[in-house]
Structure 1
Amino acid sequence: MGEPMARNLVSAGYSVTVHNRSRQAVDRLVDAGATPASSPAAAATDADVVIVMLPDAPDVRTVVLGENGVASALREGGMLIDMSTISAGVTRELSATLAERGVRMLDAPVSGGQKGAVDAALTIMVGGDEADFTRARPILSALGSTITLIGQSGAGQVAKAANQVVVSGTIQAVAEALTLAERSGVDPARVREALLGGLAGSRILEVHGQRMLDANYEPGFKARLHHKDLGIALEAGSEAGVALSTTALVRQFLGTLIASGEGDADHSALARVVERLSGQDGGRHS
């Protein structure tokens, strides 16, 4: 998702320096007008704001605090915006470490998947000080359409965990509903059409329901990443004393998908697990 987000910043007129482990993405962004950097530190040198978009907390720690990391080069008064999805606890630790160096930090995880990143239509959930949020808002506006300051450091990550709980549970419910229709001899496409007009209607039923009907699981958001995100949610639930029983079950289903070699499929491929448990062997809806 980082590549289209960086492209949107270039299109918005920002001077963008990019670094990525995959050189192909960097080359494409250079063709779009960005400047390449050889390391995170090189990307952060002379930057006012650094944005990181990475898969998990260890990646963020390495890129920010590791050798040739962002923190070694970002000057006092600079800002780090972490748009990765990681735990609120790690976010607060990083924020405190950077504050000791005079660097501001916002956690700003996103929802909207690959399409939202391409269309600059992401939902961005922000944690941090209001003054820092005000400073960063024009940048975030080039990336998303719904931008909300949730609270202090880590609050954005809590909101993202809540988002992933709702999304995964709804995908699971849609998968079960469409499988129920098909196994009952009823056209699941017509069931989906009817449900879209009632209280069950949702963006997930609209988009992921159609994916299930088409058996199209090219990734917009990979199942293995959602599995990781639900681990974060369950950890947060444990710390807060909140029962997340449905979330725990859906994470097990995602784990089953990963174990079958489909961790890079879209998270809507949860339908395959439901179908197999229902004796359909992952067959497509019709």
Structure 2
Amino acid sequence: MHYGYVGLGNLGAACAGCLVRAGFDVTVTDLDRARAEPLVAAGAKWADGAAAVAGAADHVITCLPSPAVTARVLDEIGPAMRKGATWIEMSTLGRDEVLHFASVAAGHGIRMLELPVTGGVHLAARGEITMLPGGDADLVELHRPALEAMGKRIFHMGPLGSSAIIKVITNMLAFIHLKACAEALMLARRGGLDLGQAWHAIAASSGTSFVHETEGALILNGSYDIAFSIDLALKDLGFAMQFGKEFGVPLELAALTQQTYVAARAAYGGEAQSPMIAKLLEDLLGTDLRAPGFPARLE
């Protein structure tokens, strides 16, 4: 099966690379051609633009930074894709946006499968990220070999729109955990503990979390480099708050965390790494959270 892949940011390049390594025929494009060079060297084909990708491939995967970009790319690929082909959208979107985009795609005679993922770019690079497809069950089965090449665990969440909700939930929890992790590490630091030993103790305790064990290590290194920006975190928290309003669920911790990210954007800029919310606390208290032996990037 020949897949087109549009959008080679941190996540997209990792997932496209998994498809190439698994032996799929893959044609790629991005606004920055340099991002495609490692994939082309590994066996992918390059196409000049999303429409060219759509015309060459059996099915098209997109991984894009915002709903506005998704809308523009869909306008390009929709008329060029083969009737009955599948558009697999891996971007984080709101439920209403997913349903709207699916309707637009249907007007072009193509079917949509939403495919948000969770777990981090480091797991995506290893083909071990968790995949959360939403849409018709037959499409999930049709593309299961590709999903298994890109991810370790696959959870079909239900009809279109279902995956948008669970993806926002998982990201909301990750951001809340990150804020809690920063506060816990600062308590340990100001309490005079060996910070590295404290990190290991927390990791072995009932208070641990995936975020503590991954992003917490990057805080202690001082790189904060999780390959996920403050702006992206605010986008996802905005989706969470919208769902909270729609479903009548008060999201007090999410609201507090959202304000922390707003402050971090004001301090460091929207392109700064999302774990830099910990640096807000470091700067406020004049106390760093460095400890030796922790990685600058997750492998």
How far off its partner does 1:262 sit?
4.3
CA contact (8 A) 2:74 2:105 kept: no
Deviations 1:7-37 (A, max 9, x none): 2111111111111000101233222211111
CA contact (8 A) 2:135 2:159 kept: yes
CA contact (8 A) 2:185 2:289 kept: no
Structure 2 residue runs without a partner (length 5+): 1-10, 292-299
CA contact (8 A) 1:219 1:264 kept: no
**What are the within-5 Å matches in structure 2 for residues 78-227 of structure 1?**
78-227=85-234
Deviations 1:103-151 (A, max 9, x none): 1111111112221221111111111011111111111111111111001
CA contact (8 A) 1:9 1:139 kept: yes
CA contact (8 A) 1:47 1:78 kept: no
Deviations 1:209-228 (A, max 9, x none): 22222222124322221111
Number of equivalenced pairs: 281
Of the three residues 41, 51, 62, the one matched with 2:51 is 41
CA contact (8 A) 1:4 1:117 kept: yes
CA RMSD of aligned residues (A): 1.5
| TM-score, scaled to structure 1 | 0.93
Supply the AA of the counterpart residue of 2:164: Q
Supply the AA of the counterpart residue of 1:34: A
Structure 2 CA distance for aligned equivalents of residues 31 and 215 of structure 1: 33
1:280 aligns with 2:279: no
1:26 maps to: 36
How far off its partner does 1:47 sit?
2.1
| TM-score, scaled to structure 2 | 0.89
1:56 aligns with 2:66: yes
Give the SS at the match of 2:205. coil
Report percent identity of matched pairs.
33
1:10 maps to: 20
Deviations 1:56-114 (A, max 9, x none): 1001000012xxx1101111110000001111110111112212332111111111222
Q: Point out 4+ residue stretches in structure 1 off by more than 6 angstroms.
A: none
Structure 1 residue runs without a partner (length 5+): none
Give the SS at the match of 1:45. helix
Supply the AA of the counterpart residue of 2:73: V
